[in-house]
Amino acid sequence: MNRLPTLVTLLFSLLLAACQEQDSLDHIQKEGVLKVVTRNGPTTYYENRGTGTGFEYVLANMFADYLGVELKVTPVYGIDDLFLRLEKGRSHIAAASLTPSQERSLHFEYGPTYMKVRQFVIYRRGIAYADSVEDLIGRKLQVMQGSTQEETLRELREEYPELTWESPPKLETADLLELLENGDIEFTVIDSNEYIANKGFYPQLRVAFSIGEPSALAWALTSKYDNTRLQKKLDAFFEKIRGSGALASLVERFYGHNESNTQINSQTFVEAVELRLPEYKDLIEQVALEYEIDWRLLAAMSYQESYWNPRAVSPTGVKGMMMLTRRTAKEMGVKYRFDARQSLRGGARYYKKIYQLLDDTIPEPDRSWFALASYNIGRGHLEDARTLTKKQGGNPNLWTDVKERLPLLRQRKYFSKTRYGFARGDEAVHYVQNIRHYYSLLTWTEISKVRVPPPKVAEDLLPPALAPFYKAL
């Protein structure tokens, strides 16, 4: 009996199985899990009230849903640890606000780009200043180890041989900004998206200039498996979310409110959080719990309305912590608008009522932003803006689309065709963006209080005299 055909078939099957095992998409689908490695921070991933969030986390979760698998996220410290996991095949994708570098592109593939960025040189006002690369020579400059910024600095050193910097292991963007804020270093270099996301937390920090060429963020893929099929899925996924507006909405959700806010506003808010908020925080938390609202959102609203002043009065006659009109106060059962508890309860109840009246097709977090706009400008004007958005080909359920049309309600050629007429729509946009910014500051401030610092490495624990011997090992 000739066993050769059977043996050939068996060998072919084993070879095919081995090839399939080396396919990253097949690996993901077999396990039913997309393994993503990331970094901890506002632009990437962090835990908020027991749930993961952050731009990269939400984007990765969308891709996992697209593939029909679960998402498993592993946060690590430092760029090098990201790529080590990719190299070992412990993670399929690094979604970590990465810009493809020339050096790493030789060893790792990247998915489609999804956000353009620049590399900003950052300094703290009053401590240091620079106009050009020459001004960085001899100064205390630190960047993330293994980052694109460090690669750019190495390229600049060819033109400026005296340029030096430090890149301690395990440091993240938040650590570098803290060092800068505290005056421990004079300069750092980070991507523009990281600066936009963090600038509200550090109102004294400024952009000196940019270095390198403009680039774009992209996910890095594991080097252990073949990514041909995974790349096709990524191409299709990003094409879909670009076409639907979901990507633009996500960018606006995490970055839009920061771009429009000045650092003066942020500084004033940070000071108020320290000096005025403690007096009312317990009360705000109690009212927020009563009406099932995130206390940080109610705190941000009340700050935007009155700067946490229970006796605030506007020229138009609105009064109190939540600046209620006489009509709204009566409707919400508020008898004395200068009473902080009554005002907060009236404002929270009114916001909740507006929120519940909105179209059921509006998803979160856009639903919350629409409710805030209605609180400021009135539900009728918001619906006019949504109608106008739909007529112009936008999505009336996305805040990123509707906020572009709200200012048009000032113009006669637009408001004359609406049901409720003229409105200061630009003020409503500013109102919502401010509250989102303050909410973001409160959220990250709470999280940063319990943030675990990077792990110490052996070199950090050695006496200075022994450090050279450790490096030589």
At 302-315, the pLDDT tens digits run 999 999 999 998 87
249 pLDDT band, cuts 50/70/90, is: confident
Q: How far apart are CA 276 and CA 256, in angstroms?
A: 27
pLDDT at residue 466 in the model: 41
Percent of the chain residues past pLDDT 90, beyond the cut: 58
> What is the total count of domains within the chain?
3
Say whether both 110 and 238 belong to one domain.
yes
Q: What is the average pLDDT across 362-381? A: 93
Report yes or no: 109 and 24 within 8 Å, Cβ to Cβ. Answer: no
**Peptide bond before residue 5 is cis, with ω within 30 degrees of 0:** no
Say whether both 67 and 179 belong to one domain.
no
H or E stretch at 163: none
pLDDT at residue 16 in the model: 47
Domain termination residue (choose one: 255, 282, 308): 255
Measured from the Cβ of residue 65, the count of other Cβ atoms closer than 10 Å reads: 13
**331 part of a folded domain:** yes
| Residue listed under structure tokens 């774009």 | 216
User: How many residues does this entry show for the chain?
Assistant: 473
pLDDT at 164 over 60: yes
**380 part of a folded domain:** yes
pLDDT at 165 over 90: yes
471 pLDDT band, cuts 50/70/90, is: very low
Domain extent for 46 = 21-114+219-255
pLDDT at residue 339 in the model: 95
Report yes or no: 264 and 204 within 8 Å, Cβ to Cβ. Answer: no
pLDDT at residue 50 in the model: 62
Say whether both 228 and 189 belong to one domain.
no
Domain termination residue (choose one: 255, 277, 302): 255
pLDDT at 21 over 80: no
Per the DSSP assignment, residues forming a β-bridge with 72 are 35
pLDDT at 162 over 50: yes
Say whether both 319 and 371 belong to one domain.
yes
Give the β-pairing of 110-124 and 33-39.
unpaired
Top pLDDT among 8 and 96 is at 96
**94 part of a folded domain:** yes
**100 part of a folded domain:** yes
**pLDDT tens sequence across 399-453:** 999 999 999 998 888 888 889 888 888 889 989 999 998 998 888 766 555 455 5
171 pLDDT band, cuts 50/70/90, is: confident
Q: How far apart, in Å, are the Cα atoms of 325 and each of 42, 244, 328, 339? A: 36, 39, 5, 14
Domain termination residue (choose one: 196, 231, 255): 255
Top pLDDT among 241 and 174 is at 241
Handedness of CA 156, 115, 171, 258 (dihedral sign): positive
Average pLDDT, the chain: 86
Q: What is the CATH number of the domain that holds 166?
A: 3.40.190.10
pLDDT at 29 over 80: yes
3 pLDDT band, cuts 50/70/90, is: low
Say whether both 394 and 277 belong to one domain.
yes
pLDDT at 381 over 70: yes
273 pLDDT band, cuts 50/70/90, is: confident
**132 part of a folded domain:** yes
Q: What is the average pLDDT across 39-60? A: 82
Say whether both 383 and 414 belong to one domain.
yes
Say whether both 65 and 31 belong to one domain.
yes
Q: What is the pTM of this model?
A: 0.68
Report yes or no: 72 and 35 within 8 Å, Cβ to Cβ. Answer: yes
264 pLDDT band, cuts 50/70/90, is: low
Say whether both 147 and 283 belong to one domain.
no
Report yes or no: 43 and 201 within 8 Å, Cβ to Cβ. Answer: no
Say whether both 234 and 365 belong to one domain.
no
8-state DSSP, 300 = H
64 pLDDT band, cuts 50/70/90, is: very high
Q: How far apart are CA 64 and CA 194, in angstroms?
A: 24
Report yes or no: 250 and 217 within 8 Å, Cβ to Cβ. Answer: no
Say whether both 88 and 59 belong to one domain.
yes
132 pLDDT band, cuts 50/70/90, is: very high
Top pLDDT among 457 and 112 is at 112
Say whether both 209 and 224 belong to one domain.
no
**473 part of a folded domain:** no
**10 part of a folded domain:** no
Q: Which residues are catalytic?
A: 305
**pLDDT tens sequence across 312-341:** 988 767 899 999 988 899 999 999 999 999
Say whether both 239 and 278 belong to one domain.
no
In this predicted structure, which of 210-214, 252-256, 259-263 has the lowest mean pLDDT? 259-263
48 pLDDT band, cuts 50/70/90, is: low
**14 part of a folded domain:** no
Q: What is the CATH number of the domain that holds 291?
A: 1.10.530.10
